[in-house]
Amino acid sequence: MRILLVEDDRETASHVISGLQQAGYEVHHCIDGREALTTAREQSFDLLIVDRMLPSLDGLGIVSQLRADGSSTPVLVLSALGTVDHRVEGLKAGGDDYLVKPFSLAELLARVEALLRRAVGSSAASRLRVGDLEMDRISRRVTRAGREIDLTAREFQLLEFLLQHPGQVITRTMLLESVWDLHFDPQTNLVDVHISRLRQAIDRDFSPPLLHTVRGAGYVLREHS
């Protein structure tokens, strides 16, 4: 899942990014409010973590404008301003949760998980399945025939995208844009390598194979070849 972190304090940002990435999330970082607003409008994210005090446009301004646009993406507001009135302002501006600095990384991750669970539960299936292959998007657990499969963060993202489009031929371009956020072909075997690793993980010890190559077109996840 993709998270946009808007935080101008580099030490805080580095700490949060490291924790989120270790938890398996893909993180995009902005330090400027207006840049963050443009990024949030142009790209798709599952969650925004927004500092309240930012250059050019403050965090509540970002949230207010996104809500005015009709965006329902969950937002966790971070702030050193922690009075009841400040928290109420943050929630009224459109924030879904408000975390006061300094905070523990464990609490941040717990709140992120809770917000994503709520969002996934209201907008999409929290569990994805093809045949006996199943993914729990909240716990980030993948199993096949009841056996747990260990995936890297990128392999998880790749499988998640394929599971969201069962039976559909997915092109290299679609994968590069949706999984790697690349809007150009780097002319490498990046996709092929990760597909090969994912196929080894989900198909090598199981039958029938689920991940198929459609020659000249792309890849498809389905029960039958």
E strands, 59-199, are 75-79, 97-100, 127-130, 133-136, 141-144, 147-149
Mean pLDDT to the nearest integer, 41-46: 86
Burial of 98 (0-12, 13-18, 19+ CB in 10 A): buried
Domain containing 145 — which CATH number? 1.10.10.10
Total number of domains constituting the chain: 2
pLDDT in tens, 168-208: 889 988 899 888 878 778 888 999 999 999 999 999 999 99
Residue 120 confidence (pLDDT): 64
Mean pLDDT to the nearest integer, 8-31: 91
Tell me: do 91 and 8 sit in the same domain.
yes
Both tokens of 218, joined, read: 């792309």
Question: pLDDT class for 139, splitting at 50, 70, 90?
Answer: confident
Tell me: do 156 and 50 sit in the same domain.
no
Tell me: do 112 and 169 sit in the same domain.
no
The mean of the pLDDT values for the chain is 89
Per the structure, the complete domain to which residue 47 belongs is given by 2-123
Tell me: do 89 and 147 sit in the same domain.
no
Matching residue, tokens 């969002």: 119
**Helix, strand or coil, per DSSP, at residue 102:** coil
Cα–Cα distance for residue pair 59/99, rounded to 1 Å:
13
Q: Check residues 173 and 1 and name the one with the higher pLDDT.
A: 173
Per-position b or e across 157-170, b if 16+ CB within 10 A of its CB: bbbbbbbbebeeeb
Tell me: do 208 and 185 sit in the same domain.
yes
Residue 123 confidence (pLDDT): 46
Question: pLDDT class for 44, splitting at 50, 70, 90?
Answer: confident
Domain containing 71 — which CATH number? 3.40.50.2300
Tell me: do 76 and 110 sit in the same domain.
yes
Residue 121 confidence (pLDDT): 57
Question: pTM to 2 decimals?
Answer: 0.58
> In the chain, how many H helices and how many E strands?
8, 11
